[in-house]
Amino acid sequence: MNIALFDLDNTLIKGDSDHEWGNFLVENNYVDKKSYKIKNDYFFEQYKKGVLCPKEFAKFSYEPLTKYDYENLLMMRKNFFKEKIKPLVLPKAQALIKKHRDNNDVIAIVTSTNSFISKISAEFFNINHLLASEPEFINNKFTGNLVGEPCYQDGKVSKVKEWIKNNKLKNSKDIYFYTDSHNDIKLLEFSTVPIAVDPDNILKKISIENNWNIISLR
């Protein structure tokens, strides 16, 4: 039995869930259009450069969750997935997940996108294990705070190690990890089968230097 870990954004889908969620909020007037779009684009650029402060981004991106009751948020998320995410799903990614499932591998999504937003994608791909950044949820309402460490860069490795321990998966043969982003270098190094998927320029260079597999799901 192997473990197959998948990044979500620009790996299983051809886009970024966090950025698209921000765009969805702006386009549907759930937030101030001008100021929110500027900050959303700013944080996305920081992420692509590898210099994002995940706690600062969490504070920004979780704040809208505090403005609406949970039932409204569920409706918003459903519409968001239908409008923004489902069109970005990659058929080759679905086939790759099926290949691992047919091999009886344990499959998980490991994403920096918060669990409320990414959960609906995990459900679509029928992946039960979701490792993500966790917004605090108390008395059926989001507080705007982050619980624990962000699932980002080194934080992804910590969450994966904890998950492996809690699920008694230490005897797994191989750990596959699929990602597009140089932000995931640490988890690629931790895995036994690191695979770059349509990688950004930095990850492509590092993958070539390390003789890591490079594939395309586009």
Q: Of the residues 9, 18, 180, 184, which is catalytic? A: 9
Residues in the chain: 218
Collect all residues with Cβ–Cβ distance below 8 Å to 53 and sequence separation of at least 6: 46
Q: 187 and 156 in contact (C-beta within 8 Å)?
A: yes
Q: Of the residues 7, 16, 18, 184, which is catalytic? A: 7
What are the domain boundaries of the chain?
A: 3-215
Tell me if residue 9 is catalytic.
Answer: yes
Pick the CATH number of 3-215 from 3.40.50.1000, 3.40.50.720, 3.40.50.2000, 3.40.50.300: 3.40.50.1000
Tell me if residue 105 is catalytic.
Answer: no
Q: 145 and 136 in contact (C-beta within 8 Å)?
A: yes
Beta strand segments in the chain, E: 3-6, 106-114, 129-138, 141-147, 175-179, 193-197, 213-215
Terminal Cα distance for the chain, rounded: 27
Closest CA to 113 of 71, 64, 62: 62
**Whole-prediction pTM value?**
0.96
pLDDT tens for the chain, 218 residues long, are 999 999 999 999 999 999 999 999 999 999 999 999 999 999 999 999 999 999 999 999 999 999 999 999 999 999 999 999 999 999 999 999 999 999 999 999 999 999 999 999 999 999 999 999 999 999 999 999 999 999 999 999 999 999 999 999 999 999 999 999 999 999 999 999 999 999 999 999 999 999 999 999 99
Collect all residues with Cβ–Cβ distance below 8 Å to 135 and sequence separation of at least 6: 58, 62, 65, 114, 115, 116, 142, 143, 144, 145, 146, 147
CA distance 94 to 90: 7
Nearest-10 Cα torsion for 208, 200, 202, 37 = -170
Place of tokens 């008694």: 168
Pairing of strands 193-197, 213-215: parallel
**Does residue 34 sit in helix, strand or coil?**
helix
